[in-house]
Amino acid sequence: MSRRAGIIGGGIGGVAAGVMLHRAGWSVRVFERAATPGGTGTALGMWPEALRALDAMGLGDAVRDIGARQRSGDLLRPNGSRITTVDVAATARRTGDGVHLISRPALLRLLVAALPSDRLSLGTEISDVAALQREYDVVVVADGIFSGTRTALFGPTSRARYAGCTAWRGTVDGAIDTVDETWGRGKRFGITPREDGRTNWFATVRTTEGGRSPEGEVAALRAHFGDWHEGVRRVLANLHDETEVLRHDIYDLHPPLPTFVRGNAVLIGDAAHAMTPDLGRGACEALVDAVTLAGHLGRTPDVQSALAAYDRERRRPVQRLARLARIMNRAAQMRRFVPLRDVTVRAALAVGGPPS
């Protein structure tokens, strides 16, 4: 008799775990509270480690074909002058693979198509993790940054914490082939290509939690960034109404969890280690979590031993990444000592390069 896995959350991490566990011979059920698979979201950078995880699912080449290859990465000042250039080519030389940008909906469509359709239960919210733990041999918790399951397992101190800034994001017409991020005083604006010939953008501003713009978010963006360099102004000129703009406060999981395992429940992705988006690694790490977890559960008959091995392999490395993302977030949101910040960031990237 095959072992049974119940997966809470039908996002990138949850569906990826379902795909890999199904291939390892498990009977899988993915529970997603939304009535349809997620259809919103902007570009995700698939770094080499994530591409290797996708290769394990048989999806790596599809992502490389669909996604836009990142060929450069510039960190700019609001006037358009360059702070530094991220050596993306060095990542390819070091790892044998580059960075490919693909929208969240496109990636999720590939993952859902790789999972047997009868294994995904849409419109199903799980409110009692203990009942699911009794029913299944293992419960994979992949319900995101605001995971109610994590709180049920680890208590209220495990709730995500506001990181001090809000973010806007969206997509506009027009293709670009470069990636740049502009840092001002407590503000940022990023621009990346998208696989369908459009342009992704995001912006962050240091502010209080829960705020909204009475004059509208498009007007707020133009007030914050309207005097920045031409690339930013070009994006703002292509924003026409509020429906084109998503706004979300930024959160991360801090302090980090002491373990990703409670009984036969195991956390992956943002439920386990939600990080600020400063390294662009959240979706990547969810994919690696899913492949790593399925590998241990497929090789090890004893569930508890497999979960312990997953925890040992993944928790400390991914929590180090989350800590680095938090440091980068604080640096990017600085309002004082900006010239010193720029010199420090340039030196750090020159020495260490981006994590791959």
Three-state DSSP state, 252: strand
Distance separating alpha carbons of residues 240 and 246, to the nearest angstrom: 13
Sheet holding 100-103, edge to edge: 43-46, 100-103, 68-69
Q: Which residues have a Cβ under 8 Å from the Cβ of 203 and sit 6 or more positions away?
A: 167, 168, 169, 187, 188, 189, 190, 221, 224, 225
pLDDT of 341 reads 87
pLDDT of 224 reads 97
Q: At residue 106, what are phi and psi to the nearest 5 degrees?
A: -65, -40
pLDDT tens, N- to C-terminus, the chain (356 residues): 579 999 999 999 999 999 999 999 999 999 999 998 876 777 889 999 999 999 999 999 999 999 888 877 889 999 999 998 877 666 667 777 788 899 899 999 999 999 999 999 999 999 999 999 999 999 999 999 999 999 999 999 999 999 999 999 999 988 777 789 999 999 999 998 877 778 899 999 999 999 999 999 999 999 999 999 999 999 999 998 899 899 999 999 999 999 999 999 999 999 999 999 988 899 999 999 999 999 999 999 999 999 999 999 999 999 999 999 999 899 888 888 888 888 888 877 666 555 55
Burial 97-111 (b: 16+ CB within 10 A, else e): bbbbbbbbebbbebb
Preceding omega of 105 cis (within 30 degrees of 0):
no
Distance separating alpha carbons of residues 224 and 247, to the nearest angstrom: 14
Distance separating alpha carbons of residues 47 and 86, to the nearest angstrom: 14
Q: How far is CA 287 from the centre of its chain?
A: 10
> Among 139, 121, 108, 116, which Cα is nearest to 31's?
121
Query: Dihedral through CA 99, CA 101, CA 106, CA 108, nearest 10?
Result: 50
Domain residue limits, the chain: 4-67+104-160+252-333
Distance separating alpha carbons of residues 214 and 67, to the nearest angstrom: 37
- Helix H or strand E segment including 140: strand 138-141
CATH of domain 4-67+104-160+252-333: 3.50.50.60
Distances (CA, A) of 334 to 196, 205, 329: 34, 10, 9
Distance separating alpha carbons of residues 243 and 181, to the nearest angstrom: 23
| C-beta atoms surrounding 237 within 10 Å | 11
Distance separating alpha carbons of residues 100 and 175, to the nearest angstrom: 15
Which of the 8 DSSP states describes residue 269?
A: T
CB–CB of 52/65 below 8 Å? no
| C-beta atoms surrounding 135 within 10 Å | 11
pLDDT of 355 reads 59
